[in-house]
Structure 1
């Protein structure tokens, strides 16, 4: 193995070791905090906090050292006048790193990459950990309460996400026009499409953050179902809406609104949504028939393995077909819980839930840790104060425009009304997380898109750390934490629910 290849392998191993150490420190820290009944930070916030420190260390200990060595020039001890340099471009995490290999009479020496160059591609991280997270959230939903509140959840998730997306897009577009007037941005740098894309990205409330928040706090079961159900389903709408806006941006020419491109993007939105739902359901049917028509329940290990692989295949197949893998695995989780779970043996069902619980827990730590890590290791952040201020203001206004009017309409048809205190906490609990980050990090080719990524990271940190920490006092103030008398409280697989005694 050459020195360059060995150096890259050592760097990758060091990066993975750092990620594992980060996860261990996060788990131990959160465990100790929970022993002292400290509820101001959960696993997501802790992982992001330690990720920031890891990124800070790499940025100022390794990246600055590499930049210094690059400024000193490419000097190699075995470099001679007759040497022939060969330049290899290696693309890692959407960045190209150059390694110069110099051959001299059968001898090869290399400029070894510094440890920070072995960064993990975010897409690999999302493909590994996002599907189990989304599947676990859908699979562990309380089916009875979910069905009882289905109309309200769907209204918040679909219509509410549309309202939030348009509100955020319109507000930040107004702030970008103000930036142009104040000469803080070039005219046309932020198009209306960019602002609507940011609105779609930030309209996705994160099920991981919401689940981590609610699982540690004793909240009313209906509030738990409404918040968690909405956060699970609105991811699907936000993802498909983002794809539709991106497709419209690719079809239009200039900043002129084009009706054909608009209707094609709407058709793309509907087609991807329906196609992803159908593909997720197809894998549910395959799994259900396979577990019902075979004697697979005699071997719980094989039963769990088949269930896990077929469920994950719904995500991979959707991505391969140009559909939304998150939407497919989301609907697969919902339908697997209703149909396939009945065919599993008791041991197989328990193992399956525990497997996805572990993957969900570790995925939460690694993804939020990576979000903190990228704060200092991403070299091209774009900080626009007016845009960031407008974005912070817009998420609260859009959430209020979503929850309060829709709650009024929903209450017209509900027997058990959504109280005003419920609505206040739902506005407050719109936490952002992994899905918003995964959508923002896909394209950083322009200054506007880099500004969107930077602002998204700041908003995620704010909602997870600040709003997450303030949730417990707010629940006490609104009198929503205590469970009514005559009920008992349960906690299993990371979720809470109540049952009548």
Structure 2
């Protein structure tokens, strides 16, 4: 993914990912609370089939709505080409990552107070815990990511073997997760933070083999775990048939999920545009993001299984409802998201112009390993001269400009081995050539080694002959 496009759209990503998710949560909660108070809901026993009234507590409603805020945009991301449609891809990817982070933190905050009765102070307690949990979870991941980069910068002996580099990155990541859970923070958010930090700093301290090996290893693990979760969901779906079910809740909550998602993305951006905000995103792209974000997936499924009967007496209904919505949205919306891809891409006007002021190299010059090699592939803007860098940051906001300057002049020199902007550019170019023409380079290296060996042998032979004479 293009990091330049990602940061160019960071405002839209944060609006949709943070404020959009919070808006979705408020819409879900308000409508579900109204539905709960109407007396319309009923439940059926999975064992006897008897029907009985269904009434949730306020905390149960908030708990269910918080986990339903998490989206799964994997299907949409797989349909969008990051090279031909970098803006739409960065919006989908960025909003999906931020949405998952906010949803997980929101769920953990609500879960912390789920066993307590709802009072006037409960919303403020949830907001305070939400902010604290987000801050410390991200901080732990950031610290461990920097420690990993500094370790590989100093201990260069570990960069001689790609296996060692993979193990070190895995160990630092796992340690960050353990520390976060030990202090009752969000381990998943910490893993997200440490991964972003490692991609930004640790990446340059790896050997070329380590870069390729770590990218392939963790992409394989991610794809395997994603497949395992959905396989497990499909195999265990009918294991919950003895739970209490509420068809009315499932049907109405399904509609609420669709309505809330469109309010949190399309509605929120258009409302801000009425207030003179310029998003630069076409309404068709916003519609595609909203449509793709209706899908509920692995995050919602994993979170709902954490709920105990102590937290929610109606756990059976919550679990059966969430799992059914996950299955329906994944099958239904996941099947049709591909049909909207070309329609949304054409609205952005990116397909006709692959290059954008030299932000991207030509497609035929890019290795087919590029997405596997480095998901956050460096662009030329990250390696430009200081004068051009200073000229570009003038157009940024104050906080963004301070971060880029601190990153370039302080953090990277501290945590990147033999840091220089020109060296990083050369390393990226060399690694791209190596990934593209590795076999040819091996032949060249062998020929050079043979030539050096022959030269050394001839030199030694001539020295021996001169001594004999």
By how many angstroms is 1:209 displaced? 4.2
For 1:345 and 1:496, locate their aligned partners in 2 and report how far apart those are by CA, in whole Å: 17
Cα displacement string for residues 401-448 of structure 1 (whole angstroms, at most 9, x for unaligned residues): 111233236657777710011111111111211111111111252563
For 1:409 and 1:308, locate their aligned partners in 2 and report how far apart those are by CA, in whole Å: 43
Contact 1:209–1:433 at 8 Å: present in 2 too?
no
Corresponding residue for residue 299 of structure 2: 435
By how many angstroms is 1:187 displaced? 6.6
TM-score w.r.t. the length of structure 2 is 0.69
For 1:454 and 1:332, locate their aligned partners in 2 and report how far apart those are by CA, in whole Å: 34
SS in 2 for 1:250: coil
Cα displacement string for residues 344-394 of structure 1 (whole angstroms, at most 9, x for unaligned residues): 121111111111110011011101111111111235433212111111111
For 1:200 and 1:303, locate their aligned partners in 2 and report how far apart those are by CA, in whole Å: 38
Q: Which runs of 4+ in 1 moved over 6 A?
A: 181-188, 412-416, 494-500
SS in 1 for 2:346: coil
Q: Flag structure 2 segments of 5+ consecutive residues without an equivalent.
A: 45-50, 356-361, 381-469
Residue 284 to residue 498, structure 1, CA distance change in 2 (3 Å): closer
Residue 154 to residue 271, structure 1, CA distance change in 2 (3 Å): same
Corresponding residue for residue 66 of structure 2: 200
Asked if 1:169 corresponds to 2:29, the answer is yes
Residue among 342, 357, 367 paired with 2:204: 342
Corresponding residue for residue 450 of structure 1: 316
Corresponding residue for residue 146 of structure 1: 6
Cα displacement string for residues 179-210 of structure 1 (whole angstroms, at most 9, x for unaligned residues): 44779886773122212211111111125444
SS in 2 for 1:278: helix
For 1:157 and 1:330, locate their aligned partners in 2 and report how far apart those are by CA, in whole Å: 15
Contact 2:67–2:107 at 8 Å: present in 1 too?
yes
Q: Which moved more, 1:239-248 or 1:187-196?
A: 187-196
Q: Which has the higher strand share?
A: 1
For 1:371 and 1:424, locate their aligned partners in 2 and report how far apart those are by CA, in whole Å: 28
Residue 181 to residue 406, structure 1, CA distance change in 2 (3 Å): closer
Residue 325 to residue 496, structure 1, CA distance change in 2 (3 Å): closer
Asked if 1:290 corresponds to 2:169, the answer is no
- Return the index of the structure with the highest Cα Rg: 2
Corresponding residue for residue 465 of structure 1: 331
Q: How does 1:275-424 map to 2 (within 5 A)?
A: 275-295=136-156, 296-408=158-270, 417-424=280-287
Contact 1:143–1:338 at 8 Å: present in 2 too?
no
Q: Which moved more, 1:461-470 or 1:471-480?
A: 471-480
Residue among 121, 124, 130 paired with 1:269: 130
Cα displacement string for residues 157-182 of structure 1 (whole angstroms, at most 9, x for unaligned residues): 11111111111122222222334477
Contact 2:42–2:246 at 8 Å: present in 1 too?
no
By how many angstroms is 1:317 displaced? 2.0
Residue 316 to residue 206, structure 1, CA distance change in 2 (3 Å): farther
TM-score w.r.t. the length of structure 1 is 0.65
Q: Which moved more, 1:457-466 or 1:277-286?
A: 457-466
Residue 369 to residue 188, structure 1, CA distance change in 2 (3 Å): closer
For 2:107 and 2:346, locate their aligned partners in 1 and report how far apart those are by CA, in whole Å: 34
Corresponding residue for residue 92 of structure 2: 227
Residue 476 to residue 496, structure 1, CA distance change in 2 (3 Å): farther
Q: How does 1:230-245 map to 2 (within 5 A)?
A: 230-245=95-110
Asked if 1:189 corresponds to 2:68, the answer is no
Q: Which moved more, 1:376-385 or 1:452-461?
A: 376-385
By how many angstroms is 1:309 displaced? 1.6
Residue 178 to residue 292, structure 1, CA distance change in 2 (3 Å): same
For 1:307 and 1:292, locate their aligned partners in 2 and report how far apart those are by CA, in whole Å: 13
Residue 496 to residue 301, structure 1, CA distance change in 2 (3 Å): closer
By how many angstroms is 1:219 displaced? 6.8
Corresponding residue for residue 351 of structure 2: 483
Cα displacement string for residues 261-309 of structure 1 (whole angstroms, at most 9, x for unaligned residues): 4433322211111110011011111101101111122222212210122
Cα displacement string for residues 117-173 of structure 1 (whole angstroms, at most 9, x for unaligned residues): xxxxxxxxxxxxxxxxxxxxxxxx532222111111111111111111111122222
Cα displacement string for residues 46-96 of structure 1 (whole angstroms, at most 9, x for unaligned residues): xxxxxxxxxxxxxxxxxxxxxxxxxxxxxxxxxxxxxxxxxxxxxxxxxxx
For 1:305 and 1:461, locate their aligned partners in 2 and report how far apart those are by CA, in whole Å: 35
Contact 2:4–2:379 at 8 Å: present in 1 too?
no
Contact 1:175–1:386 at 8 Å: present in 2 too?
no
Contact 1:381–1:454 at 8 Å: present in 2 too?
yes
Q: Flag structure 1 segments of 5+ consecutive residues without an equivalent.
A: 1-140
For 1:258 and 1:416, locate their aligned partners in 2 and report how far apart those are by CA, in whole Å: 36
By how many angstroms is 1:226 displaced? 0.7
CA RMSD after TM alignment = 3.0
Count of residue pairs the alignment pairs up: 355
For 1:477 and 1:148, locate their aligned partners in 2 and report how far apart those are by CA, in whole Å: 23
Corresponding residue for residue 20 of structure 1: none
